[in-house]
Amino acid sequence: MPADLTATEALGLWHRVVLEQVRRDGHDLSLRQLSILLQIYLVPPPHTVRGLAATLGVTKPVITRALDTMGALHLVDRERDDKDRRNVIIKRTLAGALYLEKLGDLIRAEARHTAP
């Protein structure tokens, strides 16, 4: 994969990835949902609703709505923090890990089309 993409090449790659995501039978996530999911899986835990809201610069209800959707898809799970019942801990799931692995494979495959 080329290390340096032009803006047009980068947008073309993003376009192909997004287009393929929409074409697939699975669920496509909004950019907000995807950014939350990536934060949960790429940054070491623990993750809380409060912490995700602060990191993404959004309100807790925004995170909660996104987690509701992703929870229904079994991409994440939630549980109360036993040490502080006000906190909700976000847990990774096998389905979420597989979703992101397939997305990563798709990005790599589409990036090969960008290579000279």
Query: Would you say 89 and 81 are in contact if contact means Cβ atoms under 8 Å apart?
Result: yes
- What is the value of pTM for the model shown? 0.87
Listed by start position, the domains of the chain span 7-114
Q: Which residues pair with 78 in a beta bridge?
A: 90
CB-based contact 13:114 (threshold 8 Å)? yes
CATH of 7-114, one of 3.30.2080.10, 3.40.50.620, 1.10.10.10, 3.90.1300.10: 1.10.10.10
**pLDDT band at residue 112 using 50, 70 and 90 as cut-offs:** confident
Distance CA 102, CA 81 (A): 30
Q: Which long-range contacts (CB under 8 A, 24 or more apart) does 81-85 make?
A: 81/48
Question: Are 70 and 36 a contacting pair, CB within 8 Å?
Answer: yes
Beta bridge partners of 76: 92
pLDDT of 69-96, one tens digit each?
Answer: 999 999 999 998 888 888 889 999 999 9
- Helix extents (H) in 1-116: 7-23, 31-42, 49-56, 60-72, 94-114
pLDDT in tens, 20-76: 988 887 788 999 999 999 999 999 999 999 999 999 999 999 999 999 999 999 999
